[in-house]
Amino acid sequence: MYESLRQLIRHSLTGEAEAVFAAMDLAFAIDLCKEEGAGQVELLSGGVNIPVTPLNVYEYVRKYAEHRMLVVSEQPLHAMRKGLLDVIPKNALEDLTAEDFRLLVNGCGEVNVQMLISFTSFNDESGENADKLLQFKRWFWSIVEKMSMTERQDLVYFWTSSPSLPASEEGFQPMPSITIRPPDDQHLPTANTCISRLYVPLYSSKQILKQKLLLAIKTKNFGFV
């Protein structure tokens, strides 16, 4: 939604704005999907007959966002609140800020590598000697430490289906693990997000490990193995 509305604003500032808006044929009305109750809702009185133009697009964006984010969501949010208070006493939440609650629910947005290291266990299926396995672990964590924050979030998402770490160890169930597969420079790492397990072949070099890992996390596809 954000990107679509942003593009509308950008289109309104171009030299071809009038033609673009005429082609889009938008009005001050929203067609609701089945989950939202279906039908059509006017954002203004008589909105179905009011075309969106470069001159009124800001009002349209404001009304559209307000309806999608507040009006449509009001009933589900009330239901969520009721359900939450059924299992958590209201006084247990009174001292929490919105940020505190977000951290409890979503975890930390910043992926702390040392925290991830402390959470993670390794399983060996490669059959290689201890020195090679230790070298591989060092390669892996060295690569992760040098990743950008976005790449770390992509890695954790690929690995666990969540782009963030929980606020505490108790929130990480199951705990993350890495299974080292037999030597193979051809295949990409895969993951089973249901059990937070990453499967990585024992690549022959740190550079190959880095290339394969970055390629795998960019696809955001999970290989159930």
The model's pLDDT over 31-48, given as tens digits with 9 standing for 90+, comes to 877 766 778 899 999 999
What is the CATH number that goes with domain 113-219?
3.30.2410.10
Summary mean pLDDT of the chain: 87
How remote is the C-alpha of 148 from its chain's centroid?
A: 16
- 149-160 and 206-219 helices, crossing angle to 10°: 70
Would you say 180 and 125 are in contact if contact means Cβ atoms under 8 Å apart?
yes
Banded pLDDT at 210 (limits 50, 70, 90): very high
How many residues in the chain? 225
Task: Enter the DSSP assignment of 33.
Answer: P
Residue 107: what pLDDT?
Answer: 60
What is the architecture, at CATH level 2, of domain 2-90? 2-Layer Sandwich (3.30)
Domain 113-219 in the same topology as domain 2-90: no
Percent share of the chain, pLDDT over 90: 52
Tokens at 167, concatenated: 């606020």
Instruction: Indicate the domain borders of the chain.
Output: 2-90, 113-219
Is the pLDDT at 205 greater than 70? The verdict is yes
**20: nearest Cα among 11, 28, 29:** 11
**Highest-confidence range of 72-76, 79-83, 161-165, by mean pLDDT?**
79-83
98-118 b/e with 16+ CB inside 10 Å = b? eeeeebeeebeeebeeebbee
Higher pLDDT pick, 72 / 191: 191
Least confident of 151-155, 163-167, 205-209: 163-167
Give the catalytic positions in this structure: 194
